[in-house]
């Protein structure tokens, strides 16, 4: 079953002449649905990643979630950044795509697995000796034409490491809050890191890899 760490890479050549980057957004979504050809349609099922185009008139609120008008926010930006639905679906708005992961190490795998299995907001799609895998559906699940919307992944590796992945800041906050609710007493603090995101340069039509900006600590000078 495909598992995302970064969203599907966009191809500018497929988009040229079809959509206008100055009039809307590319929206990335992931959907899960049973696989009717598998012995067990629910395990692991099928995961479909899709790109769709959403128009955004200049005076409407920008879909990136800033609260500003589109004409004063993302429209003048040189880079065309994709968005994704917030947890709860498109009725809850969108956020800029910022792929990231949180890693919990030295966990009690048996206890964590038992608790994750019992939570209805998570759907286990893979359970083996080496790893267990869950998808965040939410409560209730958001169903659409292509299946149930996925808002994050959780993987337990060899009962020792728990990895949560999400495509936006809000999705990661939601996922970490859920994990804290389920097993905060035994998980500890994770190490969170951001992955590069691919954007399209509006001026050239070329793909650019946007890496997360890091903060460098300032060195204090010793007083003499």
Q: Residue 61: its pLDDT value, please?
A: 92
DSSP assignment of 151-175 equals --EEEEETTTEEEEEESSHHHHHHH
If we measure between CA atoms, which residue out of 213, 5, 9 comes closest to residue 101? 5
Q: Phi and psi at residue 198, in whole multiples of 5°?
A: -95, 130
β 207-210/197-201 pair status: antiparallel
Q: Residue 9: its pLDDT value, please?
A: 54
Global pTM reads 0.86
Helices and strands: H and E segment counts in the chain: 3, 15
Domain spans, the chain: 12-210
Q: Residue 222: its pLDDT value, please?
A: 42
pLDDT in tens, the chain (224 residues): 333 334 455 565 566 556 788 999 999 999 999 999 999 999 999 989 988 899 987 788 999 999 999 999 999 999 999 999 999 999 999 999 999 999 999 999 999 999 999 999 999 999 988 899 999 998 899 998 899 999 999 999 999 999 999 999 999 999 999 999 999 999 999 999 999 998 999 988 888 998 887 544 344 444 44
Q: Residue 2: its pLDDT value, please?
A: 34
The conformational region for residue 178 under phi > 0 = left, psi -120 to 50 = alpha, else beta, is alpha
Q: Residue 187: its pLDDT value, please?
A: 96
């Amino acid at each position: 079953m495909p598992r995302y760490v970064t969203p599907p890479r966009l191809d500018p050549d497929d988009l040229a002449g079809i959509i206008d980057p100055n009039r809307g957004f590319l929206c990335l979504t992931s959907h899960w649905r049973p696989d009717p050809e598998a012995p067990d349609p629910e395990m692991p099922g099928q995961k479909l990643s899709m790109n769709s185009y959403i128009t955004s008139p200049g005076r409407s609120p920008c879909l990136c979630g800033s609260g500003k008008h589109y004409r004063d926010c993302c429209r003048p930006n040189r880079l065309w950044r994709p968005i994704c639905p917030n947890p709860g679906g498109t009725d809850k708005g969108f956020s800029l795509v910022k792929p990231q992961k949180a890693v919990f190490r030295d966990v009690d795998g048996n206890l964590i697995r038992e608790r994750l299995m019992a939570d209805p907001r998570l759907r286990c799609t893979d359970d083996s000796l080496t790893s267990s895998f869950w998808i965040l559906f939410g409560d209730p699940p958001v169903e659409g034409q292509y299946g149930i919307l996925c808002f994050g992944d959780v993987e337990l590796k060899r009962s020792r490491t728990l990895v949560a992945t999400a495509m936006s800041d809000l999705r990661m906050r939601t996922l970490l809050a859920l994990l804290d609710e389920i097993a905060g007493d035994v998980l500890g603090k994770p190490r969170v890191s951001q992955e590069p995101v691919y954007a399209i340069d509006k001026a050239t039509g070329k793909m650019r890899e946007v890496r997360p900006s890091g903060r460098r600590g300032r060195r204090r000078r010793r007083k003499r």
